[in-house]
């Protein structure tokens, strides 16, 4: 078997959320740690798309930033083409340009004082991907056409575009670096539904044309169904289920995955009552013992409240549930 393009092993990321020293001394409190990512593993082959799914606050965006090299992991490793992400992202690395990111907010991620042409050209110039200014301009014009914009748009500012057009600019900026892997952190959640479909189809077309690999972060199962080859479901910093897309949507094994499926309404579900997850997400600073989903799980037993389930092979994928076999 060939090695995966991206290989994440036992990834942990913790943040110190302690009060200032004086406040801790006066109150007698100790340090407090938020475990945003608590030991996850996944791999993505070249040309594939892995969707990371879960409710807000489960750690998806932190994983995205660790993979992109924007924040260092507390423990574990992120390997790109077999090299640690810190080496890949250092200045002068021949692999540095191969990992790019598309952010959630298409306006906040663009410099409002830069014209679009400068925004798209910046990674080309910074990474030395074109020998002359004329070639940079040609590449910018070609990339803008590839994402459905006009070369003349290079002279405009971000505020002169709609939300969907701004996200096309963000995609163009990522493409300008000639990437192999793009980390997509909810790239359509801030857009109207009709515009979301256009951007998603654009990303699928670009993936086929350029052989791109995607780590796709989302909480929208309809988007995941359209984009992903494989799906990893996160809950409170841990992956609770992984499977290929068709298997996961046909036979979800974890109670949390089933709850997510029940809360998503499709076109044929008009009039159906929405089954929202019960209860609140536990505090990640003080997670419950055992399976972290047990306070909200209708199938929880005493074992679930005391022993954390390991992620194990089940039904063509992997699941972290003590009772997956009995849930049917």
Residue 316, both tokens: 């063509």
- Its pTM stands at 0.91
**Helix or strand or coil: residue 126?**
helix
**b/e sequence 24-52, b meaning 16+ C-beta within 10 Å:** eeeeeeeeeebbbbbebebebbeebbbbb
Domain-wise residue ranges, the chain:
6-228, 252-265+277-328
pLDDT of 8 reads: 97
Residue 270 has a pLDDT of 47
* pLDDT value, residue 276: 59
Average pLDDT of each block of 10 consecutive residues along the chain (328 residues)? Answer: 88 92 84 92 96 92 95 96 94 93 88 96 92 94 96 96 94 96 91 88 96 94 92 96 95 92 60 60 88 92 94 93 86
CA 49 from centroid of its chain's CA atoms: 11
Asked if residue 58 lies in contact with residue 34, where contact means CB atoms within 8 angstroms, the answer is: no
Please provide the distance, in angstroms rounded to a whole number, between the alpha carbons at the two ends of the chain: 33
**pLDDT given for residue 191 in this prediction:** 84
Report whether CATH 3.40.50.300 matches the domain 6-228.
yes
Burial of 148 (0-12, 13-18, 19+ CB in 10 A): middle
CB atoms within 10 A of CB 178: 16
Helix (H, G, I), strand (E, B) or coil at 190: coil
Query: For the residues of 148-164, what is the DSSP string, one character each?
Result: T--GGGGGS-GGGS-HH
Q: Within 10 Å of residue 298's Cβ, how many Cβ atoms?
A: 8
């Amino acid at each position: 078997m060939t090695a995966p393009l991206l290989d994440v092993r036992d990834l942990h990321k913790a943040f110190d959320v302690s009060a200032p020293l004086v406040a801790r001394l006066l109150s007698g409190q100790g340090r407090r740690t938020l475990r945003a990512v608590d030991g996850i593993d996944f791999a993505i082959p070249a040309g594939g798309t892995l969707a990371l799914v879960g409710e807000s606050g489960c750690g998806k965006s932190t994983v995205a930033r660790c993979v992109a090299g924007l924040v260092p992991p507390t423990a574990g490793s992120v390997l790109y083409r077999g090299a640690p992400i810190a080496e890949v992202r250092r200045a002068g690395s021949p692999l540095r340009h191969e990992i790019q990111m598309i952010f959630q907010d298409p306006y906040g991620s663009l410099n409002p004082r830069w014209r679009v042409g400068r925004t798209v050209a910046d990674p080309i110039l910074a990474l030395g991907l074109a020998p002359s200014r004329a070639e940079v301009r040609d590449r910018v014009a070609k990339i803008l056409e590839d994402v459905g914009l006009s070369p003349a748009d290079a002279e405009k500012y971000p505020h002169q575009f709609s939300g969907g057009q701004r996200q096309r600019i963000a995609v163009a900026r990522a493409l300008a670096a000639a990437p192999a892997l793009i980390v997509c952190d909810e790239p359509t959640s801030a857009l109207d539904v009709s515009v979301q479909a256009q951007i998603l189809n654009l990303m699928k077309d670009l993936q086929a044309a350029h052989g791109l690999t995607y780590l796709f972060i989302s909480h929208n199962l309809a988007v995941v169904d359209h984009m992903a080859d494989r799906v990893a479901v996160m809950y409170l910093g841990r992956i609770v289920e992984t499977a290929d897309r068709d298997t996961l949507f046909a036979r979800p094994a974890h109670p949390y995955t089933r709850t997510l499926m029940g809360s998503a309404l499709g076109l044929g579900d008009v009039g159906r009552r929405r089954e929202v997850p019960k209860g609140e997400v536990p505090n990640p600073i003080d997670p419950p013992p055992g399976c972290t989903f047990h306070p909200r799980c209708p199938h929880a037993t005493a074992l679930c409240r005391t022993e954390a389930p390991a992620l194990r092979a089940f039904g063509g994928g992997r699941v972290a549930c003590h009772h997956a076999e009995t849930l049917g």
